[in-house]
Amino acid sequence: MGKTKPFLDFQNDSTANDIKLALREGFKSIEHVKRYTTTGMATDQGKLSNMHALGIIAETAGVKMGELGTTTFRPPYTPLTFGTIVGRNVGEFFDITRRTPIHDWHVENKAKFENVGQWKRAWYYPIDNENMHEAVQRESKAARDSAGILDASTLGKIDIQGSDASEFLNRVYTNAWSKLEIGKCRYGLMLNEDGMVYDDGVTTRLSENHYLMTTTTGGAANVLSKLEDYLQTEWPELDVYLTSVTDHYGTVSICGPNSKKILSKIIPDLDLSDKEFPHMSFKNALIDSIRCRVMRISFTGEHSYEINIQASYAKSVWEKCFEAGKEFNITPYGTETMHLLRAEKGFIIAGQDTDGTMTPVDLQMDWIISKKKYDFIGKRSLYRSDTIREDRKQLVGLITDDPKEILEEGAQIVAETNKQPVEMLGHVTSSYFSPNLNKSIALAVVKNGKKLKGQKMFVPMENKIINVTITDTVFLDKENKRLNA
């Protein structure tokens, strides 16, 4: 017991002896003793240790405790439980969940959900005892053969207004925006300053100085913050205002060869001819006197429409589309089928086929980089020695020799299996069995992939080696005939 240290402050390890030493060395004010010994400077803010320190100082100095004063007390003035501060993060309240305005329909129709950020998104809709594979095969076939319907409400939506809105988009995206006609839509890629793909989406010109930008579901909040940051710190001269409208609109997407017939039943007054309403354009419309915006855009490669309507009407519009589409066997599909359909067309998902190390050139999307624009975010970085290397990892398609073999996402790709050490050339980013092509397809990033089309490669797995061939990224409808079918 004689050698036991009399600790005062269990967080900063100061002892009664430290206090006495401070007094002997001439520190008399409690504030000085506190700083010299660090007593009471941890998260308890003196509520525990300083009271004892005051007692020792008073006793050693021969004064009353009340005469010494106290250090500055900071909140919490009295001990609190963590529960008081953070609330009840237990059970269903452990993590926040976001729901689309059509969520209840998905629940009623026995959808399986997946977490996308904080969103609960319908993943697939099993019928009877279908597993995910069976449900996705059925959904994707129906979408290509007749009609599919998707809840796309989670996509980030940013309202952009101001006399410099076009210039703003020119600086934000890699492609040019000034000449986009009112009523037309355009796909854009957004880069980080390092030239790597950050986000993507379709932006619509609603009027001369008014655009509606869409972002990825997961990137919505970050994109808005980033753009607002640029406006406030880098481009304060631009007359542009951004407002999030992600939650204001519900989005119902209908796709497939019969989508036009379904939409014409719901909005009979709208001219849906290719001439009046071509791919990548938008129209204002009324559904039962409620204003909505209809975009003819496609993430599946099919003839498609996206109806944006105030969220409180979205479920009703969804049900109306579903009812109108029954004669065409309209099929609700979830995110898994959406991923498969877009992969058949070679459309990327930012965050799945990109990982912060892919430039547009790596994605074989050179066409989206404007050569005429003076500048855009990330432009300078696209011309650095590392980003112009021809042997960077590049996006390619993969076909397995055995068409029934489905590759694992994340699996490594090698050219030789006998040579040690085995050189990893890339990895699989997306992989599915396509019922529309009746074979397995995959997207992958492979070193120098652009020049390796037709080359045989290997995907070594735990118990076997899978033979694959590098292909183009577009597996279905290379001529885009289905967009106007």
Partner 1 sequence: MPNWNSAIKKIDVNDVVSVNLNHHSELFISEVEPIMKLNIRGKSRDFLSMIGKILNIILPTETNTSTTNKFITAIWLSPDEWLIFKNNVTNRGAEETNIEENLYKNISQKKLGSITNVSDQFVMINIQGKNLYELLSSGCPFNFNDFKNKKGAVTQTLLNHTDVIIYNEDINKINLFVRRSFSAHLWSWMNDSARFI
Distance CA 243, CA 226 (A): 13
294 binds partner 1 (CB under 8 A): no
Pick out residues in 187-216 that bind partner 1 (CB under 8 A): 207, 209-210
Pick out residues in 92-151 that bind partner 1 (CB under 8 A): 92-93, 96-101, 119
CB 331 to partner 1: min, Å: 16
Q: Which is nearer to partner 1, 207 or 480 (CB)?
A: 207
Distance CA 107, CA 135 (A): 16
CB 313 to partner 1: min, Å: 5
Residue type, 92: E
CB 327 to partner 1: min, Å: 9
Closest CA to 156 of 195, 118, 208, 209: 118
161 binds partner 1 (CB under 8 A): yes
Distance CA 341, CA 287 (A): 28
Distance CA 377, CA 384 (A): 14
Tokens of 56: 């020792």
- Binding residue for partner 1, selected from 234, 239, 274, 276, defined by CB under 8 A: 239
CB 72 to partner 1: min, Å: 17
484 binds partner 1 (CB under 8 A): no
- Binding residue for partner 1, selected from 127, 290, 388, 461, defined by CB under 8 A: 290
Helix (H, G, I), strand (E, B) or coil at 80: coil
Helix (H, G, I), strand (E, B) or coil at 325: helix
- Secondary structure element (H or E) that encloses residue 54, with its range: helix 49-61
Q: Which is nearer to partner 1, 52 or 293 (CB)?
A: 293
234 binds partner 1 (CB under 8 A): no
Q: Which residue has the tokens 């305005």?
A: 101
- Binding residue for partner 1, selected from 310, 370, 448, 469, defined by CB under 8 A: 310
311 binds partner 1 (CB under 8 A): yes
Q: CA end-to-end span of the chain, whole Å?
A: 90
CB 281 to partner 1: min, Å: 21
- Binding residue for partner 1, selected from 84, 273, 418, 420, defined by CB under 8 A: 84
Binding mask 28-67 for partner 1 (x = CB under 8 A): ----------------------------------------
Stretch that binds partner 1, among 15-23, 34-42, 244-252, 391-399 (CB under 8 A): 244-252
182 binds partner 1 (CB under 8 A): no
Residue type, 189: L
Q: How many CA atoms lie within 13 A of 132 on its CB side?
A: 13
Pick out residues in 366-425 that bind partner 1 (CB under 8 A): none
The footprint of partner 1 on this chain (CB under 8 A) covers a number of residues equal to 46
Tokens of 9: 């402050």
Stretch that binds partner 1, among 47-55, 83-91, 335-343, 360-368 (CB under 8 A): 83-91
CB 165 to partner 1: min, Å: 10
Tokens of 259: 């989508």
CB 94 to partner 1: min, Å: 11
Cα→Cα distances 483→173, 235, 339, 379, Å: 24, 38, 18, 31
Q: Which is nearer to partner 1, 13 or 159 (CB)?
A: 159
263 binds partner 1 (CB under 8 A): no
Distance CA 314, CA 159 (A): 19
- Binding residue for partner 1, selected from 2, 87, 410, 454, defined by CB under 8 A: 87
Strand partners, 149: 254, 332
DSSP state of 157: E
Handedness of CA 355, 359, 362, 364 (dihedral sign): positive
CB 226 to partner 1: min, Å: 17
DSSP state of 184: B
CA angle 105, 108, 112 (to 5 degrees): 90
Q: Which residues of 197-207 are buried (b: 16+ CB within 10 A; e: fewer)?
A: bbbbbbbbbbe
CB 276 to partner 1: min, Å: 23
- Binding residue for partner 1, selected from 266, 297, 428, 444, defined by CB under 8 A: 266
- Binding residue for partner 1, selected from 249, 277, 347, 376, defined by CB under 8 A: 249
Distance CA 346, CA 397 (A): 8
- Dihedrals phi, psi of 394, to nearest 5 degrees: -130, 150
Residue ranges that bind partner 1, judged by CB under 8 A: 84-88, 92-93, 96-101, 119, 159, 161-163, 207, 209-210, 239, 241, 243-249, 265-266, 287-288, 290-291, 310-313, 315-317, 320, 323-324
